[in-house]
């Protein structure tokens, strides 16, 4: 994993400027996109999660889920890739604070502000829900509010497409316990109504400064979500109207069928509560909930008139809107975020269709339908075909190929290349050891594939082993990956001592190379040839078999006539192989003479003629 510091160039494109924060599985940096010249937030997977395939998949899913969502209240995803094995996401940089930070700093927010922020969150969720995406981790830490008061929802890391996605994986609950719906806490399938429950928890916290359920252990919080009724927010904070309290309590119903069924329904209830009188409020019950007050039931005719009047007003508003026509603005050449803003300001909805393009930069609109300038009903949807860049392709398999062949193959697949060197005991020098991303992984064309090129086996410096005992010297060489070739030589040094080495210390060799050691051999000891006084022939045979030469002399010793009576050196004395041992044969008392010495031949006297 890479260590990011200020001024680090991430993946050859994003220049790190300052660290924005870190979470359980990633860290986020403010960075300058040196290709498009804009500031972005770069989120890099970190720590032990880099090697965890499950978190790789979660990280990939976050980018995939959010990349197709372009809405003013959703943090935009610009790019996703890997930086030498570290996955990252480049996304919109939002300068602001999270809702959690706002509540922590200021305490409970005024009801109007809390409702307004919650409605922005709900608009983002509604947009995602209509496209089949359930966020599944809605919490104030994942909502950023900028200086203009615009809220943006981030972190779709555990989002899933579809409305029956399983919340648990291998028995573990994914998400933040204080904000999970009862069905999430139980590990049951979830749909968009789970997000609406979590949004209700967020609203509760914005209004009161605290979450409805908390505890020391996650399991205790989960049990409260499943079984306990929250304290009505009006009992914790004065100034919360009964109408608003009723909306919060309905959002926090245990049974998903009794909650709001869509983000739009939730927003409509908040708007009614915002404009409702503060007393004698009658909120529409949740599905299946009886009317609470018998006195109110007797006034059915009053409420019938009210409902009729509201219906008439709504119908008139609908007919007015339906009749309005607007000009379709030009979206071509704009980024997805800019196109969404322009369309919404014109009173239109927008949907995006990704399209591969070799000419139009990534994230820009290629074309639109209806065309710019056409007159359509207000609220109509404009389809914007947005460039996904040059498309994606699998990284080719080039491990084991030469550097030049690998570069040609990767370039032909539509990618850039860069190389780095590494030693390898198994891959020949100049061939590819590995690629990043790995072969077969899908990557946007034009991105960079890193090739790791073998420099052959790493050179090993031969250590100095002269003077060590043979066993220690051999162990040291083998620990470094070298082998020892031992030869012995008799010497006066202690047996087993390394006297010479080849190559000498400091020499660089390949792994597995042999170092020749010349080791002191133990000198043979002179055998005893005086015991039992053997004959000359017998003593000579014993000594020559032991590797010694023999010199014979006589010494007066009538008791051991013609037998060995003494030797020099004495028995047991260490001597080099080939050294001479003198044996002494007993005689009748004459002066000792070397019997082994030849008798000199007399020089003939010349005859004088």
| Catalytically active residues, by annotation | 137
In three state form, how does the secondary structure of 313-335 look? HHHHHHHHHHHCEEECCCCCCCE
What are the strands of the beta sheet with 483-490, ordered from one edge? 483-490, 514-521, 498-502
Quote the CA–CA distance of 238 and 435 in Å, as a whole number: 62
| Residue 43 in marked binding region | yes
Question: Ramachandran region of residue 314, left (φ > 0), alpha (ψ -120 to 50) or beta?
Answer: alpha
Quote the CA–CA distance of 262 and 257 in Å, as a whole number: 11
Quote the CA–CA distance of 186 and 194 in Å, as a whole number: 12
Using alpha carbons only, how large is the chain's radius of gyration in Å?
A: 46
Give the torsion sign (CA, 502, 506, 508, 510).
positive
- Nearest Cα to 564, choosing from 581, 545, 589, 539? 539
Instruction: Pull the structure tokens for residue 433.
Output: 């050891």
Residue pair 357/327 in contact (Cβ under 8 Å)? The answer is no
Quote the CA–CA distance of 386 and 400 in Å, as a whole number: 39
Give the contacts of 408 (CB within 8 A, at least 6 positions apart): none
Question: Ramachandran region of residue 7, left (φ > 0), alpha (ψ -120 to 50) or beta?
Answer: left
Residue pair 571/524 in contact (Cβ under 8 Å)? The answer is no
Give the contacts of 308 (CB within 8 A, at least 6 positions apart): none
Quote the CA–CA distance of 574 and 523 in Å, as a whole number: 6
Number of residues assigned to the chain: 609
- Nearest Cα to 117, choosing from 247, 206, 242? 206
Q: Hey, is 591 helix, strand or coil?
A: coil
CA distances from 343 to 338, 435, 606 (A): 9, 43, 143
Quote the CA–CA distance of 155 and 340 in Å, as a whole number: 20
Write out the DSSP string of 485-530.
Answer: EEEEEE-SSPTTBEEEEESPTT-EE-TT-EEEEEEEEPPPBPPP--
**185 preceded by cis ω (within 30°)?**
no
Residues in binding site for ATP: 43
Q: Which residues are annotated as a binding site?
A: 43
């Amino acid at each position: 994993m890479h260590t990011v510091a200020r001024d680090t160039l991430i993946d050859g494109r994003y220049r790190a400027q300052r660290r924005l924060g870190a979470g359980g599985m990633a860290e986020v940096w403010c960075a300058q996109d040196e290709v498009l010249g804009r500031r972005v937030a770069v989120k890099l997977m970190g720590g032990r999660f880099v090697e965890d395939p499950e978190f790789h998949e979660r990280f990939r899913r976050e980018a995939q889920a959010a990349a197709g969502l372009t809405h003013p209240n959703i943090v935009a995803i610009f790019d996703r890739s890997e930086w030498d094995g570290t996955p990252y996401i480049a996304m919109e940089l939002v300068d602001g604070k999270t809702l959690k930070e706002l509540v922590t700093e200021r305490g409970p927010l005024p009801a109007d502000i809390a409702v307004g922020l919650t409605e922005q969150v709900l608009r983002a969720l509604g947009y995602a829900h209509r496209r089949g995406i359930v966020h599944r981790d809605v919490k104030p830490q994942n909502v950023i509010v900028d200086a203009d008061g615009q809220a943006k929802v981030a972190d779709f890391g555990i989002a899933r497409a579809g409305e029956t996605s399983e919340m648990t994986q291998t028995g573990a609950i994914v998400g933040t316990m204080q904000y999970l719906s009862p069905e999430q806490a139980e590990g049951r399938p979830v749909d968009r109504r789970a997000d609406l429950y979590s949004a209700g928890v967020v609203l509760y916290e914005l209004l009161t400064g605290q979450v409805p359920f908390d505890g020391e252990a996650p399991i205790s919080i989960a049990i409260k979500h499943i079984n306990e009724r929250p304290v009505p927010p009006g009992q914790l904070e004065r100034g919360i109207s009964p109408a608003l309290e009723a909306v919060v309590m309905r959002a926090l119903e245990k049974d998903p069928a009794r909650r709001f069924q869509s983000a739009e329904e939730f927003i409509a209830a908040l708007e009614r509560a915002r404009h409702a009188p503060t007393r004698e409020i009658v909120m529409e019950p949740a599905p299946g909930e009886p009317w609470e007050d018998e006195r109110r039931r007797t006034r059915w005719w009053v409420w019938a008139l009210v409902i009729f009047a509201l219906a008439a007003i709504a119908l008139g508003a609908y007919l007015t809107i339906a009749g309005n026509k607007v000009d379709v603005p030009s979206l071509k050449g704009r980024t997805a975020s800019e196109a969404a803003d322009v369309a919404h300001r014109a009173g239109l909805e927008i949907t995006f269709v990704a399209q591969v393009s070799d000419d139009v930069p990534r994230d820009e609109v290629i074309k639109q339908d209806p065309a710019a300038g056409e007159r359509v009903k207000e609220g109509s949807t404009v389809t914007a075909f947005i460039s996904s860049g040059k498309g994606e392709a699998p990284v080719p398999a080039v491990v084991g190929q030469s550097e030049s062949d690998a570069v040609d193959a990767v370039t032909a697949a539509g990618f850039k290349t860069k190389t780095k060197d590494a030693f390898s005991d198994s891959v020949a020098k100049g061939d590819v050891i590995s690629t990043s991303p790995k072969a077969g992984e899908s990557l946007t064309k034009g991105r960079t594939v890193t090739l790791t090129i073998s420099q052959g086996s790493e050179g090993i410096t031969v250590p100095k082993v002269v003077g060590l005992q043979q066993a220690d010297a051999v162990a040291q060489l083998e620990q470094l990956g070298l082998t020892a070739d031992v030869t012995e030589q008799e010497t006066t040094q202690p047996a087993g001592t390394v006297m010479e080495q080849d190559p000498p210390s400091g020499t660089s060799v390949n792994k597995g190379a042999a170092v020749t050691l010349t080791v002191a051999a133990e000198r043979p000891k002179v055998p005893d040839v005086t015991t039992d006084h053997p004959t000359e022939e017998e003593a000579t045979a014993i000594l020559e078999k032991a590797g010694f030469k023999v010199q014979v002399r006589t010494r007066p010793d009538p008791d051991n006539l013609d037998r060995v009576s003494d030797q020099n050196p004495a028995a047991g004395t260490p001597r080099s192989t080939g050294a001479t041992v003198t044996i002494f044969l007993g005689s009748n008392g004459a002066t000792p003479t070397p019997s082994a010495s030849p008798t000199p031949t007399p020089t003939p006297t010349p005859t004088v003629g």
